[in-house]
Amino acid sequence: MSGVSELLIVGADLVGAGRADLYVRDGVFADPAEAGSDVERIDADGLIALPGLVDLHTHLREPGREDAETIATGTQAAARGGFTAVLAMANTTPVTDTAEAAEHVWAVGRREGSAEVVPVGAVSKGLAGAELAELGLMARSAAGVRVFSDDGRCVSDARLMRRALEYVRAFGGVIAQHAQDPRLAGSDACCHEGELSGKLGLPGWPPAAEATIVARDAELAKLTGSRVHVCHVSTAETVDVLRWAHKRGIPISAEVTPHHLMLTTSEVVGYDPTYKVNPPLRPDEHVTVLREALADGTIAAVGTDHAPHARHDKEHAFVDAAPGMLGLEAALAVVIETMVKPGLLDWAGVAERMSYEPARIARLAHQGRPLRIGEPANLVLVDPSARAVVDRNASASLSRNNPWHGRDLPDPVAATVWRGRVTYSREPKG
Ligand SMILES: NC(=O)N[C@@H](CC(=O)O)C(=O)O
Ligand SMILES: [Zn+2]
Ligand SMILES: [Zn+2]
């Protein structure tokens, strides 16, 4: 990591604006004409500059499960993935359901983070789904919480969801829903419901358990005039509901994970718990629809759902293993492979789906900004042609539940700059 306050990035492709130099001084972009001759340089010949990526959905596990991930290691993984901000989910121990808890995560992030750490506040106390957490106090805290989620659990009580939406409307907050009707897909559900779940003898997770909650929440967003965001959309049925809601002008946004864009139910055949994730991997036809929905904006953003788990929580029989997989480091690679290569998204589209839109949804003022003089210097330099075989042992994450291990994928992140500071650089610094 470099402590320099000045940096000249030479000859980067600025996507639609040709090749140019970017001069970074005191954490913001300044006029390259003002750069001195002895300033530290990054040669960006052949590299594309995108605004720093923003992840709406990261599990950092601190406080409580520092054996799986910490704020320091999780944000190092983020920097390696090209991210300059992550939304830290509330399902920690203790749960982020008070102003103090949110400020703690925020403060540790400022002290130890390699990216901006934005705490997500819980919707309900202890994620129990019964009583509202301190939404207003979290919003007014130093952490300035705007995104609230019981992620890991669904806010299944419609009345509680309605009250949460009414509450956060006043300060422009959003409720990020883990859409899983617990009566249709209980906590044991772990395989897309269909022929394969029957054959494998795994409890089924039907698409209807997701789509029905999203339809209900769209109606609640309409009723309250308040924003809903749908976490990790996994089915074609949910995409249909989102299209229906958007046609009616309902304020509901959605994200898709890298794994749901690339991996399918067939990974589960070998019962490898690395591929156990919630919601589960789906058949091909869903994956195709998810890609189209991300391309046309029905799904506005990619959210990694980076979910590190310690070995002793993951290495069990499939039904007993903890659900979740790593996502930060390979997210851009997977988006390039599944969206850019097939022509579904261009580089401006990647910037929209992975930086501008997530920053808008989370109401982040200093992220998802154009690479222009006066703007905060958050960017990722992308090498569009490099490839590598993913090695889970080369990860910055403390966990090894990496579904991309052994796969040949794009290796796009050449360097990441957050607030003018180089948080990751592929070239080892001499
Ligand atoms: N995605 C997962 O399978 N697991 C997440 C929780 C969640 O995102 O629902 C986790 O916290 O491990
Ligand atoms: Zn979830
Ligand atoms: Zn999650």
Dist. CA 400–CA 78, nearest whole Å: 15
Q: Whose CA is nearest to atom 7 of ligand 1?
A: 152
Please check whether residue 419 lies inside any domain of the structure: no
pLDDT of residue 5: 82
Identify the three-state secondary structure at position 364: coil
Three-state DSSP string of 48-60: EEEECEEEEEECC
Of the CA atoms within 13 Å of residue 150, those in its CB half-sphere come to 22
178 pocket-lining for ligand 1 (C-beta < 6 Å): yes
321 pocket-lining for ligand 1 (C-beta < 6 Å): no
pLDDT of residue 428: 62
Section 337-356 average pLDDT = 98
One-letter identity of residue 219: E
Please check whether residue 20 lies inside any domain of the structure: no
Please check whether residue 33 lies inside any domain of the structure: no
Q: What is the CATH number of the domain that holds 292?
A: 3.20.20.140
Tell me the pLDDT band of 17, cut-offs 50, 70 and 90: confident
Ligand 1 atom at shortest distance from the alpha carbon of 276: 3
pLDDT per position as a tens digit, 387-402: 999 999 999 999 999 9
| pLDDT for 371 beyond 70 | yes
Please check whether residue 285 lies inside any domain of the structure: yes
327 pocket-lining for ligand 1 (C-beta < 6 Å): no
Domain total in the chain? 1
Q: How far is ligand 2, taken at its centre, from the CA of residue 232, in Å?
A: 7
pLDDT per position as a tens digit, 108-162: 999 999 999 999 999 999 999 999 999 999 999 999 999 999 999 999 999 999 9
Q: How far is CA 305 from CA 26, 308, 362, in A?
A: 32, 9, 15
| pLDDT for 430 beyond 60 | no
Please check whether residue 270 lies inside any domain of the structure: yes
Please check whether residue 32 lies inside any domain of the structure: no
260 pocket-lining for ligand 1 (C-beta < 6 Å): no
Is 32 labelled a binding residue?
Answer: no
Dist. CA 262–CA 266, nearest whole Å: 11
User: What does the DSSP assignment read for 225-257?
Assistant: T-EEEE-S---HHHHHHHHHHHHTT--EEEEE-
| pLDDT for 2 beyond 70 | no
pLDDT of residue 4: 58
Identify the three-state secondary structure at position 208: helix
Tell me the pLDDT band of 416, cut-offs 50, 70 and 90: very high
Dist. CA 80–CA 404, nearest whole Å: 15
Q: How far is ligand 2, taken at its centre, from the CA of residue 156, in Å?
A: 13
pLDDT of residue 376: 98
Tell me the pLDDT band of 427, cut-offs 50, 70 and 90: confident
277 pocket-lining for ligand 1 (C-beta < 6 Å): yes
pLDDT per position as a tens digit, 279-306: 999 999 999 999 999 999 999 999 999 9
Section 191-206 average pLDDT = 97
Question: Encoding tokens for residue 207?
Answer: 């698409």
Tell me the pLDDT band of 243, cut-offs 50, 70 and 90: very high
Q: What average pLDDT does the structure give for the chain?
A: 97
Report, as residue numbers or ranges, the catalytic residues: 305
Share of the chain above pLDDT 70, in %: 98
Q: Whose CA is nearest to atom 2 of ligand 1?
A: 324
Pocket test for ligand 1, best of 56, 147, 151, 304 (most atoms within 8 A of CB): 151
Identify the three-state secondary structure at position 213: helix
Ligand 1 atom at shortest distance from the alpha carbon of 232: 8
| pLDDT for 1 beyond 70 | no
Instruction: Respond yes or no on whether the N-terminal peptide bond of residue 94 is cis (omega within 30° of 0).
Output: yes
| pLDDT for 429 beyond 60 | no
Neighbours of ion ligand 2 (CB under 5 A): 151, 178, 231
Dist. CA 108–CA 24, nearest whole Å: 26
Q: Considering all CA atoms of the chain, what is the largest pairwise distance in Å, rounded to the nearest integer?
A: 67
Ligand 1 atom at shortest distance from the alpha carbon of 231: 8
Domain that holds residue 334: 52-369
Please check whether residue 41 lies inside any domain of the structure: no
Share of the chain above pLDDT 90, in %: 97
Identify the three-state secondary structure at position 184: coil
Cα 330 from chain centroid (whole Å):
11
* DSSP conformation class of 12: E
| Strands ordered across the beta sheet of 53-58 | 53-58, 83-88, 116-119
59 pocket-lining for ligand 1 (C-beta < 6 Å): yes
Dist. CA 50–CA 194, nearest whole Å: 40
pLDDT per position as a tens digit, 20-32: 999 999 999 999 9
Please check whether residue 134 lies inside any domain of the structure: yes
Is 306 labelled a binding residue?
Answer: no
pLDDT per position as a tens digit, 82-105: 999 999 999 999 999 999 999 999
